[in-house]
Amino acid sequence: MSIQRHDTQARMSRAVIHNGVAYLCGQVPGPEARNGDITEQTQSMLARVDALLEEIGSDREHLLAATVYLTNGEDAAAMNAVWDAWVPEGHAPTRTCVCAPLPAKELLVEVTVTAVVKG
């Protein structure tokens, strides 16, 4: 069994691939969006997901599952508006959305993603 780890550090890897399935670490908004509203933070976070998926040889059409963490449930509708525009039609993954405190107080949203690696 081959396990590929990407950008491994002491605490975590940014992505781990096993049997053609990629498990991405939690993605949060980039520093430029951390003081923004939920729309800006969600856009930034999903752009980071896109970049990491591309880096490992996948894309959003190959999503299997996602878990979205919101600090405030009242942000769900605005986050979903960005999410719905981001997910390609017919390629929606399974998804769970929960409210949970995040490690930095300015963060409003985080997502973990599982995807198939192309090829």
CA atoms lying within 13 Å on the CB side of residue 33: 20
**Tens digit of each residue's pLDDT (9 = 90 or more) over 2-16:** 999 999 999 999 999
Structural domains in the chain (count): 1
Residue-level pLDDT at 119: 76
Stretches in the chain below the pLDDT threshold 70: none
Please state, rounded to an integer, the average pLDDT across all residues of the chain. 97
Residue-level pLDDT at 59: 98
Domain span holding position 7: 3-116
pTM of the model: 0.95
What is the enclosing helix (H) or strand (E) of 51? helix 38-56
82 Cβ contact list (under 8 Å, min separation 6): 39, 42, 43, 46
CATH number at residue 103: 3.30.1330.40
Residue-level pLDDT at 75: 98
113 Cβ contact list (under 8 Å, min separation 6): 24, 27, 49, 53, 63, 65, 66, 93
Residue-level pLDDT at 18: 97
Q: Strands 63-70 and 94-99: what pairing?
A: parallel
